[in-house]
Amino acid sequence: MQLDNTAAIVTGGASGLGGATAQALAKQGVAVFVLDLPASIDNAPDVDNVTYIGTDVTDGEQVRVAVEIAASGGAPLRTVVNCAGIGPSMRILGKKGVHDLDVYAKIVQVNLIGSFNVLALASEAIAQTEADEQGQRGVIINTASIAAFDGQVGQAAYASSKGGIVGLTLPAARDLAQYGIRVCTIAPGIVETPMLATVSDEFRAGLAAGIPFPQRLARPDEYAQLALSIIGHDYLNGETIRMDGALRMAPR
């Protein structure tokens, strides 16, 4: 699928995986609309071809308005990359008692339901665009995690939400096939994102040591590179792709 003179939505695009993806798409001549929380946007870089829209992905009306803005900018909306997510950890039964149900629900609400909300509303707008000569209208990429397969101690809620993303991938691709919209998922391993900025170099080195090869943390730009590869590969559909250096997470 051609990217030049098209529009894209990237959630969680003020930093991290989404930020790298938004910048990579913008360099390809895409009009990028970043959906992120206002507090995150306040600290986001000023990038050519990137427009920031303060949006809570769990709010249907906010997402609907943001999608309308992205779809009415003059270029056809072709791409959506869902990167918005949170990752608090808590054991099902720990020293402080049972897992807080509100915390569990919040993680699922943001990571899984938020992604579905954007996918559904954006697909409606993409379906209204004119298809190319091969019947293509767009591609939607969701973000899971290897925790969907190898969830560790304390990741019950996070792994549940990301496992839901993996489970969503194929039926979403089948649902949207009639509209020429592909759906794929990226399941990253350990990526050097702002969430790791507060940990020590020793801890970071310990994480890298467990990765078979390359024995280092992944970079956000490598996620962006994979996203662009999926967009450009018209036969990739309904698939979850691990980006983890062959890492299989230990229990803890």
190 pLDDT exceeds 70? yes
CA distances from 251 to 32, 152, 212 (A): 38, 5, 17
**Domain-embedded: residue 202:** yes
What are the structure tokens assigned to 194, written together?
Answer: 């702002």
> Rounded to the nearest 5°, which phi and psi values hold at 105?
-65, -40
Picking from 143, 223, 151, the residue whose alpha carbon sits closest to that of residue 191 is: 223
- Say if 132 falls within a structural domain: yes
Cross-strand pairs, 94: 97
Dihedral angle sign, alpha carbons of residues 146, 205, 24, 106 = positive
Q: What is the mean pLDDT of the chain?
A: 95
Q: Is the alpha carbon torsion for 49, 51, 57, 60 positive or negative?
A: negative
Q: Point out the residues that are catalytic.
A: 158
Single-letter code of the amino acid located at 179: Y
Question: Scanning the structure block, which residue is given the tokens 């980006």?
Answer: 243
Q: Which two tokens stand for residue 74?
A: 């003059």
User: What range defines the domain where residue 56 resides?
Assistant: 7-243
* Number of Cβ within a 10 Å radius of residue 203: 11
Question: What's the CATH code of the domain at 121?
Answer: 3.40.50.720
Domain count across the chain: 1
**What's the average model confidence in pLDDT over 98-113?**
98
- Determine which helix (DSSP H) or strand (DSSP E) holds 32, and give its type and residue range: strand 31-36
Torsions phi, psi for 80 (to 5 deg):
-135, 130
Q: Over 90: is that where the pLDDT of 225 sits?
A: yes
d(CA 235, CA 230): 9
Give mean pLDDT, residues 148-159.
96
Q: What is the pTM of this model?
A: 0.96
Q: Is the pLDDT of residue 195 over 80?
A: no
* Length of the chain, in residues: 252
Residue 27 placed within a domain: yes
Reported as a single tens digit per residue, the pLDDT across 44-67 is 999 999 999 999 999 999 999 999
CA dihedral of 53, 59, 62, 63, whole degrees rounded to 10: 70
Pick from 90, 116, 84, 93: which is nearest to 104 by CA? 90
233 within a domain of the structure (yes/no): yes
Grade residue 201 by pLDDT with cuts at 50, 70 and 90. Answer: confident
The answer as to whether 248 is a domain residue is: no
* Domain contains 46: yes
CB 99 within 8 A of CB 153: no
Other CB atoms within a 10 A radius of the CB of residue 110 amount to 19
88 inside domain:
yes
Q: Is position 252 within any domain?
A: no
